[in-house]
Amino acid sequence: MPRRRGKGSRAEARVSKLYRRAGYRVKRNLRSKAGEIDILAKRGKEKLLVEVKSGKQTLTSSDILKVVHKARYHKAKPVIRKSKLTTLTSAAKEAVKKYNVRIKNY
């Protein structure tokens, strides 16, 4: 029986493909002391820690801080790739500015 993949896994595969096409080496679903990582992308000396958010959900400032913490642990730049349905609270928007987190739709 074929394995079923959830919406999150499909979104991660789609985002991984975007980074590979842009010339990044991509590792997915890593585990570390800082927590689970969706995507770790490297190109030259640049290292990105990418958190993929799919579906209709609201990101809070604590969600942003978790990504920042993981990125600092891995000495990478924090990136959040989100669906168009995902929204951010006003506190999350402030945290994005304060910690220089890149946010893009996929």
How many Cβ atoms from other residues are within 10 Å of residue 85's Cβ?
12
- Provide the pLDDT for residue 4: 52
User: How confident is the chain (106 residues) per 10-residue block, as mean pLDDT?
Assistant: 65 97 97 95 98 96 98 98 97 98 96
Angle CA 80–82–85, to nearest 5: 150
7-105 CATH, one of 3.40.50.300, 3.40.1350.10, 3.40.30.10, 3.40.1500.10: 3.40.1350.10
> Domain spans of the chain?
7-105
Tokens 């079923």 appear where? 4
Q: Determine the Cα–Cα distance for residues 82 and 57; give it in Å rounded to an integer.
A: 10
Tokens of 50: 């990418």
Region of residue 55 (left: phi > 0; alpha: psi -120 to 50; beta: else)? left
- Provide the pLDDT for residue 60: 98
